[in-house]
Structure 1
Amino acid sequence: MGKIIFFEDKNFQGRSYECSSDCSDLHSYFNRCNSIRVENGNWMLYECPNYAGHQYFLRKGEYPDFQQWLGFNDSIRSCHLISSIIFYEDKHFKGRSYECTSDQSDLHPHLSHCNSIRVENGCWIVYELPSYMGQQYFLKSGEYPDYQCWTGLSDSVRSCRLVPQQRGTHKLKVYERDEFRGQMMEFTDDCPSVYDRFLYQNISSCNILDGYWIFHEQPNYKGRQYYLKPGEYRKFSNWGAPNARVGSFRRVLDTY
């Protein structure tokens, strides 16, 4: 998770306010901002409310006065936490690296292989092949010092996708047969065992009504993973699976 602390006076003095997510209007928390400490994450700061005015990009570090972030004055009125993932060619965050803040359909020009990953912020899906193909792996904020930590089968990571933030409800309908036929059941929460709840071992089609979800091949969120965003999936191949076996599924939550 990100963390940034705003101080009214220089050198981290005076009234302060700590923030860990986007804020469209900081004025109610402090009157001015003359120093900032970024403890985690990458942030975009704005001179005016609602993400308007001059913008300042800040990485982890200390900024004892507004000249340090190239500010024109002591006005900071809104902030945005930037999702970020860093890929490393070698284990334990060594070797050549590449930082990404948005979807990337082909990572090969930036690194030849991937043996460790650091997720600075956000939830991400990384793919074994370019163009969001092959094995899929769901990663939340944290450190992954080798590919076994994200249950990878090899050091091949060729594309990635940022999961959009979802602050509302989650809802999906699963069906026993393709084209939304057969037994149907609606879910709004995580399901560690599809068979125990649905009484079937297969899901052949589904309709994602709200939120973003991860299907797992085995119960208790194990086995191959598949990322599903809102939309209709008339057959299991639509979400990239070789068969209809779904052992469990869960919501992608901002609280990860």
Structure 2
Amino acid sequence: MRVCVCLCLWCVFYQDTRSSRMSEQQSSAPEQLAPGKSQGGAGATYKVVLFEFGNFQGRKVELSSEVKDVTEKGLEKVGSVLVESAPWVGYERQSFKGEQFILERGEYPHWDTWTNSQSSSSLLSLRPLKVDGAEHKLHLFENQGFAGRKMEIVEDDVPSLWGHGFQDRVGSVKALNGTWVAYMYPGYRGRQFIFERGDFKHWNDWEAPVPQIQSVRRVRDMQWHKRGYHQNPASKQQQPGTSAFKLVIYEQENFQGRCHELTGPCNNLQEAGVEKVGSILVLCGPWVGYEQANCKGEQFVFEKGEYPRWDSWTNSRRSDTLYAFRPIKVDSQEHKIVLFENPSFAGKKIEIIDDDVPSFHGHGYQEKVSSVRVQSGTWVGYQYPGYRGYQYLFEKGEYKECAEFGAQVPQIQSVRRIRDMQWHLRGAFNPNN
């Protein structure tokens, strides 16, 4: 008889998230860690395996501490990565320089599973990331030197700064507690920037070419972190169903050329007079786009924000075409999803309640997901950790096999909620002028 193990995440409902915060006190903020100066907490262990070729083939090297140059370990290149205990940050160049890549526990079979920008396949140095507290607090400032409008994020992940009424310009950052990763585009896409506890007075301090951030999330030890909260001014709250949907399609990149406005579903963009999709501005969402007409093929979730070119909305790098769109209904403040190892809701299962999970491996669950039950809320699943790879939209209902949610193989390694950030009860921000 097969034993079915249920892994239940955060099944305890908090009556007051503020009062339930861990009693462990944080010490005063230390100086910002220099690149390469990772510190593990008490008892922390780190292990990552690098393979020379894709799909975990060729020579391999095991690491348990930072390495400034992987070529000195006998690897000419890194083709795939297996993170056994996490998290790590990889760098495009030696000595922790260049583009950054967050690597959480899980499998990365080829280079485009750890990079979001698609600009480089190089990975030449790595170091462990310190995750030293259950508290998370981040301040984003519009201008350098901690000036201009400010956005405060406390104990939550934010897939769209625009969804909170904050623009995409971020010129300086204060990471007061915890470790964070920010992204150039909404939905955790585009170039990645790591923020460990400390002050970042200028965007050059986090290796950004321009002062642009559109989404941000916590890097967490998923075994002991707690859920978050937010304070949302009552004047900004909306009830479900009161907001409209609006999306603008541009035929050329960077919001150039002819534009077309959508306020409802469109099964065939060409029939609506759109020759091609070069860039997208989501004014009110969320939306889901499809690779083929009649809402078929690969799926792309669009939250409020700017998408200047095709690789800002796709994680798979397989297709740059969009032929259909429809709004996503977000009709519940509660979120509950159950994912099953085998078809027809059989085998091992993982239950997720009101939280985002960037790594199933971090919870001791493998990546095989063949069937799904969405009991409340709307979700998006991803093929790889850190919200990368193919995207799968899960609205309320049952999916008895992977083909029903558009997957060619039964593989999901991360999942997150799609939320109306104006009225969702948990979350993350205090925007200040």
- Identify which of 374, 383, 391 aligns with 1:217: 383
Find the counterpart in structure 1 of residue 346 from structure 2. 181
How far apart, CA to CA, are the structure 2 residues paired with 1:196 and 1:154?
30
| Alpha-carbon contact 1:84-1:100 (below 8 Å) kept | yes
Conserved 8 A contact 2:336-2:374: yes
Instruction: Return the alpha-carbon distance in structure 1 between the equivalents of residues 402 and 332 of structure 2.
Output: 27
Aligned partners of 1:182 and 1:2: how far apart in 2?
Answer: 39
Contact 1:126 1:138 in 2 (8 A): yes
Q: Which residue of 2 aligns with 1:44?
A: none
Code of the aligned partner of 1:96:
R
Aligned to 1:54: none
Equivalents in 1 of 2:382, 2:322: separation in Å? 19
**Alignment match, 2:298:** 135
**Distance in 1 of aligned mates of 2:239 and 2:337:** 30
The alpha-carbon deviation at position 196 of structure 1 amounts to 2.5
Q: What amino acid sits opposite 1:119 in the alignment?
A: V
Q: Which residue of 2 aligns with 1:92?
A: 254
Cα drift, residue 22 of structure 1:
4.6
Matched, 1:161 2:326: yes
| Cα distance in 2, alignment partners of residues 134 and 120 from structure 1 | 24
Per-residue deviation, residues 186-212 of structure 1 (Å, max 9, x unmatched): 111211112222522201111110011
Gaps of 5+ in 2: 1-162, 166-233, 423-433
TM-score calculated relative to the size of structure 2: 0.41
Residue 193 of structure 1 is matched in structure 2 by 359
Q: How does 1:7-86 map to 2 (within 5 A)?
A: 22=238, 80-86=242-248
C-alpha contact 2:350 2:365 (8 A) present in aligned 1: no
Following the alignment from structure 2 to structure 1, what is the Cα–Cα distance between the partners of residues 244 and 365? Answer: 41
Partner of 1:38: none
Where does the alignment leave 5 or more consecutive residues of structure 1 unmatched? 4-17, 25-50, 52-79
Within 2, Cα distance between the matches of 1:116 and 1:207?
33
Deviations 1:209-252 (A, max 9, x none): 00111010000100110111111111111101000010101110
Query: What secondary structure is seen at the aligned counterpart in 2 of 1:82?
Result: coil
Q: Percent identity?
A: 29
Residues 2, 203 of structure 1: CA spacing in aligned structure 2 closer, same or farther, 3 A cutoff? closer
Cα distance change of structure 1 residues 244 and 120 upon mapping to structure 2, 3 Å threshold: same
Q: Note the alpha carbon deviations across 1:151-203, whole angstroms, 9 max, x for none.
A: 26444111112111234200011111111111122111211112222522201
Which amino acid letter does the alignment assign opposite residue 246 of structure 2? Answer: S
Cα distance change on mapping 1:178 and 1:88 into 2, 3 Å: same
Q: In 1, are the aligned partners of 2:248 and 2:283 still within 8 Å (CA)?
A: yes
How far does residue 140 in structure 1 lie from its aligned partner after superposition?
Answer: 0.8
Identify if the C-alpha distance between structure 1 residues 191 and 95 changes in structure 2 by more than 3 Å, giving closer, same or farther.
same
Once the two structures are TM-superposed, the CA of residue 21 in structure 1 deviates from its matched residue by 5.9
Provide the residue aligned with 1:70 in structure 2. Answer: none
- Tell me the TM-score normalized by structure 1: 0.68
Aligned residue in 2 for 1:144 = 307
Q: Distance in 1 between matches of 2:395 and 2:248?
A: 23
Give the SS at the match of 1:225.
strand
Between 1 and 2, higher relative CO (CA 8 Å, sep ≥ 6) is seen in 2
Deviations 1:21-45 (A, max 9, x none): 6579xxxxxxxxxxxxxxxxxxxxx
Secondary structure at the aligned position of 1:196 is classed as helix
Is 1:171 aligned with 2:171?
no
**What is the alpha-carbon distance in structure 1 between the residues aligned to residue 364 and residue 404 of structure 2?**
21
The runs of 4+ residues in structure 1 deviating greater than 4 Å are 18-24
1:125 corresponds to which of 279, 288, 295: 288
Give the aligned partner of residue 251 of structure 1. 417
SS in 2 for 1:238: helix
Deviations 1:119-165 (A, max 9, x none): 00111111111111111111111111111111264441111121112
Seen in structure 2, the aligned counterparts of structure 1 residues 246 and 87 have a Cα distance that, compared at 3 Å, is same
Tell me the equivalent position of 1:45. Answer: none
Q: Which residue in the other structure is 1:29 paired with?
A: none
